[in-house]
Amino acid sequence: MSHHATTSRISATERVALLKNTALFAETPENVLSSIVPIMKEVAFQEGEQIFAKGDLGTSLFIVQEGEVHIFSGTQQLATFRPGDFFGELALLDAEPRSASAVAHGAVVTFRLDQEDFYDVMEERGEVLRNILRVLCQRLRRQNEKMQLPQ
């Protein structure tokens, strides 16, 4: 993989603002977000680069800072994530291999939150776990709607 950690191009204040605008951290106070920012790693990917593959052991979740990420199962595109969206959380929550592959669509910059840090945040901040559950439910409902056959 040719992805690489980048030297942050945005300030800590801008990172806090980005996190505040994600569904994951929407209810989290700014002072808490300021403590999360240093543990997140900025990682860049090039067009077509695989961020992770279906079946990989999941050890991180990602928040899109710039660009688009497409999620695939085989050749079927399941989802598109844009700035402020997060993905990769399932493998962190259930300790199962990745259920799909993530590929950069154009140049992409993400914030990566690793498993141990993620669990620390969830333990300290109950709203983060509630937000993850809410987003997972929304995604499941959307998938169910897509699967329903026309009447």
Cβ proximity of 22 and 130 under 8 Å: no
Q: For residue 142, what are the contacts with CB-CB under 8 A and spacing of at least 6?
A: none
Distance, C-alpha 114 to centroid of its chain: 11
- Residue 53: CB atoms within 10 A of its CB come to 14
Q: Mean pLDDT across the chain, nearest whole number? A: 85
pLDDT grade for 103, boundaries at 50, 70 and 90: very high
Token couple for 107: 């140049």
pLDDT per position as a tens digit, 8-63:
677 888 888 888 888 878 778 888 888 888 888 999 999 999 999 999 998 888 99
What domains, with CATH codes, occur in the chain?
Answer: 4-115 (2.60.120.10)
- CA atoms of 109 and 3, how far apart (whole Å): 10
pLDDT of residue 5: 57
pLDDT grade for 100, boundaries at 50, 70 and 90: very high
pLDDT of residue 1: 46
Whether pTM > 0.85 for this model: the answer is no
Cβ proximity of 64 and 24 under 8 Å: no
Residue type, 59: T
